[in-house]
Amino acid sequence: MWFFQYHCFTGKININDSFIQKLQSNVEKYKTNPERRKELMDYQMKLDDMRYVGEKAGIKTGKEEERIDAIKKMINLSRKLNASNDFILKQLTDDYGAYFSQEELKQFIKNN
């Protein structure tokens, strides 16, 4: 055991070690088996798909958060200028009506 740890510590692995040879043999069998190879490829494709979907969801969430921050800033600025809620709602509807419903925009105004 100490011998194996020493080689790992120095970055050198004794490829003549029976455990290492058996491990390499099993890896080769696994890699060359057509059925296993297809499973690995399918698994990799699923991982890639999940990563893509996750990235898209993250981008969408980030954009929505940016819009919400912009809405809050617009409301705060409009309040400083003594704008009415109706005026603020119209401005928000013009700028963000494609992304949020009237009720959602009214809720933003109410909460800010």
Instruction: Give the Cα separation of 107 and 109 in Å (integer).
Output: 5
Residue 2 is assigned to a structural domain of this protein: no
**How many distinct structural domains can be found in the chain?**
1
41-97: pLDDT as tens digits: 888 998 888 888 888 888 888 899 999 999 999 999 999 999 999 999 999 999 999
Residue 6 is assigned to a structural domain of this protein: no
The CA-atom distances, in angstroms, between 46 and each of 35, 36, 49, 59, 91 are 17, 15, 5, 20, 44
Instruction: Give the Cα separation of 60 and 68 in Å (integer).
Output: 12
pTM: 0.55
The residue with greater pLDDT, 12 or 38, is 38
- The conformation of residue 12, written as its DSSP 8-state character, comes to -
Residue 27 is assigned to a structural domain of this protein: no
Domain range holding 98?
A: 33-111
At 7, the pLDDT band (50, 70, 90 cuts) reads: low
